[in-house]
Amino acid sequence: MVQHRAVAYTMQALVKYHGLKDWKLRLPYHDSISVNTTSMKTEAAIDDSRKGGVFIEGKPNDSANSRLQAVVSRLSPSARVTDFRIDSRNIPSGKAKGIGYSSSAGAALTLLSHRVLVGSKPDLPQLSKTARLFAASASRSLVGGFSRLYAGKDDDSTYAERFADARELDLRMVIVPLASRVKTEDAHKEVLSSPFFAARVESAQKRCDLMQKAIHGNDLDEVGRLAERDTLELHALTMTGESGMVIMTEDTIRIIRRVRELRNEGVRAYFSMQTGPSVFINTSEQDQDNVKKAIEKLGYKAYPSGVGGEATIL
């Protein structure tokens, strides 16, 4: 029996993509920027002496099998996901949405597949093109740190690249997981019907340049402000689609209000959300503990985090 293990970290999208112009290749309409976490991750193991495909928390998962097959086929056209036994688990486990577990799972599973089917040390930006076939966000989780997914014109020009880490900006986060029944795939399809979609593509592309400049400039407050603006714009887009999809919950709004109160009290705290109700609170090392305690007083579980690294074979 030969078994390999890998770990990949979830990410917070600071400038988020919404909608895909090519679903097979999972090509986004515009660039996006994210930062990996340190407190939430996916651990996975692949066993090439057993068969069965992907198991998540011990249960077979058809969706993961289908997504990973696209990855495996690119690495080795004759290979099948079901030729292996792949076990994956999220830490901490739970049913929260908008945390980024699809990104960390895709990164870990792609790295494991490359290890078994190719064997050589991967070039992560190049491998990010393959991880993107699982989930576009997986390409950013794979390379780690602060990364940018470039939305090119085709498969080869759409890849992720790390451009900074904690040495440029020692960003701290407090993550508040919240549950939801909304499927991310449905939200991506919904936004295309919003009358503001074209404006969103233009503003998000410009915001990526501003965000990258703020990160390189060690400007935490500007990063926080840009992420908040991007969050509100993203959810406005979802809510103005044909079905009027509302992803925020009462808990989300309660946390956002508390973050704004903290900021008025002199605490550096900025909210950020992805395609789900869960909330990331961007803050400093000095204020992280105060933010965590304030959220816990509201009755929510909160996870402190720093800037996480790339996906790694263990």
Tokens of 57: 């928390």
> Which parts of the chain sit beneath pLDDT 50?
none
pLDDT at 49: 84
What does the domain layout of the chain look like in residue ranges? 3-168, 172-305
Nearest Cα residue to 20 out of 161, 194, 191, 220: 191
Nearest Cα residue to 149 out of 134, 129, 171, 168: 129
pLDDT at 1: 53
Domain 3-168: which CATH number of 3.40.640.10, 3.90.740.10, 3.40.50.360, 3.30.230.10: 3.30.230.10
Q: How far is CA 134 from CA 23, 184, 233, 260, in A?
A: 11, 13, 26, 36
Among all chains, which residue has been given the structure tokens 């603006």? 229
CA atoms of 142 and 129, how far apart (whole Å): 10
Amino acid in position 99: I
pLDDT at 26: 95
CA atoms of 240 and 193, how far apart (whole Å): 8
Nearest Cα residue to 28 out of 18, 36, 38: 18
Q: How far is CA 278 from CA 63, 74, 178, 180, in A?
A: 22, 33, 5, 9
Tokens of 128: 């990010």
Q: In the CATH hierarchy, which top-level class contains the domain 172-305?
A: alpha beta
